[in-house]
Amino acid sequence: MKKITINLLLLIFSFSFSFAQSEDDLFGGDDNLFEEAEESEESLDELLLVDEKGIHIGGSFNLGISTGFAMDPSSVASVDDLEWDLTPDLSASLYFDARPSSDIRLFGKAVIEYPFTVHEDDPATTTVDETRNFDDIIYIKELFSDFNVGDKLFFRAGKQTINWGVGYFFSPADLLNLTEIDPEDPDAELEGPLSVKMNVPINSHNLYLYTLLPEGIEDPTDLAFAPKAEIVLGSTEIGIGVYYRYKQAPAAMVTFTSAIGDVNIFGEAVVKYGSDKNFVEKNGPVYTVETYKETVFFNATLGASYTWSSEVSDFSFTAMGQYYFNGEGYSDPDLIKNIPAMELSGLMAGGLTVSDLMNRSMHYGAANLSITPVKDLTFSVFWIGNFTDLSGIIKPGVTWKATDYISLGLNVPYTYGNGGDEYTPESDNLSFALEISLGGSSF
């Protein structure tokens, strides 16, 4: 360790010496401008695929503490009425990466999340949300093996995140991952299924075949298959894929990413024959749960992003927006809003789930604007909205990276809409959250 540190210091010292040299020093000395290069005997591409130590251990650590309050602007009379809370957020990931030879690689990543206690599900004192199992504390995020046949056909087998859609806030084409994009945290890694990916690159194009092994699989008919082609035409990349699982709604999708000038654009279109969702129907005063297995549904999204960086300072801004047409939504979202509580309990008992009540509208939008006036300071405004019931969230915020290991964030999200709307089940709501992140790092 000491030797490595000394070498690094010497290296930085030698570079600092070069930085300090004038043009006359650099070009006026006795050194020749060029020398015959001694070609490396090692294959760098091979070296990257093997690890002399056999295995590499790494991971990340994050500690965040947030404090704030949420209030109904119409009912809070004074500051004393505000109820402050404080929430710690501690998590770490740990991975191993074993590369015994250039032909194979084994990788696994586990995540540990605070609190490290399991709550008993006591209906008398807790709600379902407070129930916490062991696999909420420690869980396997990824566990897979990479290998290939003849350096032409590449496999990734195991539990893995899958790149299927191209949407940023919404991705209806992502039919394979177990978790959906959280529009408020769109860069977060998604959890993928147990699957076998086969990939054949053909110049800049790629062919894929995913074979998915859903949880609880019992026989070959439970397998799902998803072939996909990624085709590059000029500066546009087009993805075409199909998802098929016996007795489930088959789907086909098309994605594209491209650019018009400096504006990046992306889009997805999905056609499903049948939906795996349960729908609420109202016939007169009676509510029922229905499924549609032989109806064609169409979902699509279109988005764009633009980044501008000043050439004369650290100023930059990024704007991103996306529209989502949800063909599995209700043309009249008031249908859900107006279900009486007693009726809803009955529908839930009849098979309706909480996820069936999400994304109830057919039209959504999301956008984010971030401005960095100086290095390490960013102002942002995030918005997501339901265009049908006109509810949504607008979240202005600011983050400041004070040092490499300390950052502060302040967010003031306002949830607007009428009681019973998608984003305002009770009423509109104003929150304040101050967050501090300490010691976050990767190793």
Residue 75 found at the interface with another protein (CB under 8 A): no
Nearest residue to 380 via CA among 424, 316, 431: 316
Chain centroid offset of residue 292 CA? 29
Rg of the chain on CA atoms, in Å = 26
Cβ proximity to another protein, 35 vs 80, nearer residue: 35
| Interface with another protein, residue 407, by CB under 8 A | no
Q: Burial code of 325-363, b = ≥16 C-beta within 10 A, e = fewer?
A: bbbbbbeebeebbebeeeeeeebeeeebeeebbebbbbe
Cβ contacts of 302 within 8 Å, gap of 6 or more: 265, 266, 267, 322, 323
Amino acid, single-letter form, for residue 99: R
What is the nearest approach in angstroms of another protein to the Cβ of residue 434? Answer: 24
Residue in 198, 213, 221, 270 with CA at minimum distance from that of residue 241? 270
Residue 168 DSSP one-character state: S
Q: What angle is formed at CA 140 by the lines to CA 135 and CA 146, rounded to 5 degrees?
A: 165
Helix (H, G, I), strand (E, B) or coil at 124: coil
What are the structure tokens assigned to 65, written together? 């503490």
- Residue 101 binds to another protein (criterion: CB under 8 A): no
Q: CB of 26: closest distance to another protein in angstroms? A: 4
Q: ω into residue 214 within 30 of 0, thus cis?
A: no
From residue 283, alpha-carbon distances to 99, 240, 286, 296, 313 in Å are 61, 39, 5, 22, 63
- One-letter identity of residue 250: P
Cβ-Cβ contacts under 8 Å for 108 (sequence gap 6 or more): 95, 96, 140, 142, 143, 144
Per CB under 8 A, does 11 bind another protein? yes
Is 45 a residue that touches another protein (CB under 8 A)?
yes
Cβ-based nearer residue to another protein, 120 or 185: 185
| Helix (H) / strand (E) containing 31 | none
* 85/404 with CB nearer another protein: 404
The residue among 133, 98, 140 whose CA lies nearest residue 116 is 133
For the bound state, the minimum distance from the C-beta of residue 214 to another protein, rounded and expressed in Å, comes to 20
| Residue 291 found at the interface with another protein (CB under 8 A) | no
Distances (CA, A) of 176 to 141, 180, 195, 209, 357: 15, 10, 10, 12, 21
Interaction between residue 262 and another protein (CB under 8 A): yes
Does 36 interact with another protein (rule: CB under 8 A)? yes
Stretches 16-24, 342-350, 351-359, 362-370: which one binds another protein (CB under 8 A)? 16-24
Using rule CB under 8 A, residue 23 touches another protein: yes
52 contacts another protein (rule: CB under 8 A)? no
For position 97 contacting another protein by CB under 8 A, the verdict is: yes
Would you count residue 31 as binding another protein (CB under 8 A)?
A: yes
- Least separation in angstroms between CB 46 and another protein: 9
Quick one: which segment of 17-25, 274-282, 296-304, 358-366 binds another protein (CB under 8 A)?
Answer: 17-25
Q: Which of 105, 159, 360, 395 binds another protein (CB under 8 A)?
A: 105
- Write the interaction track for another protein spanning residues 183-222; mark x where CB under 8 A is met and - where it is not: ----xxxx--------x-x-xx-x----------------
Smallest separation, CB 291 to another protein (Å): 33
Considering only 15, 139, 246, 298, the residue that binds another protein (CB under 8 A) is: 15
In the complex, least distance from residue 109 CB atom to another protein, rounded to whole angstroms: 9
Quick check: 94 and 57 in contact, CB under 8 A?
yes
List, in sequence order, every residue forming a beta bridge with 227; answer none if it has no partner.
209
Nearer to another protein, 282 or 375 (CB): 375
Contact map string, positions 332 to 371, toward another protein, x by CB under 8 A:
----------------------------------------
Options 7, 18, 101, 355; binder of another protein; rule CB under 8 A: 18
* Contact range with another protein by CB under 8 A, out of 23-31, 62-70, 239-247, 324-332: 23-31
CB-nearer residue toward another protein: 165 or 329: 165
Question: Which positions touch another protein (CB under 8 A)?
Answer: 8, 11-12, 15-16, 18-19, 23-24, 26-29, 31, 33-40, 42-45, 48-49, 56, 58, 95, 97, 105, 107, 146, 148, 151-152, 154, 156, 161, 163, 187-190, 199, 201, 203-204, 206, 232, 234-235, 237, 257-259, 262, 264, 309, 311-313, 375-376, 441-443
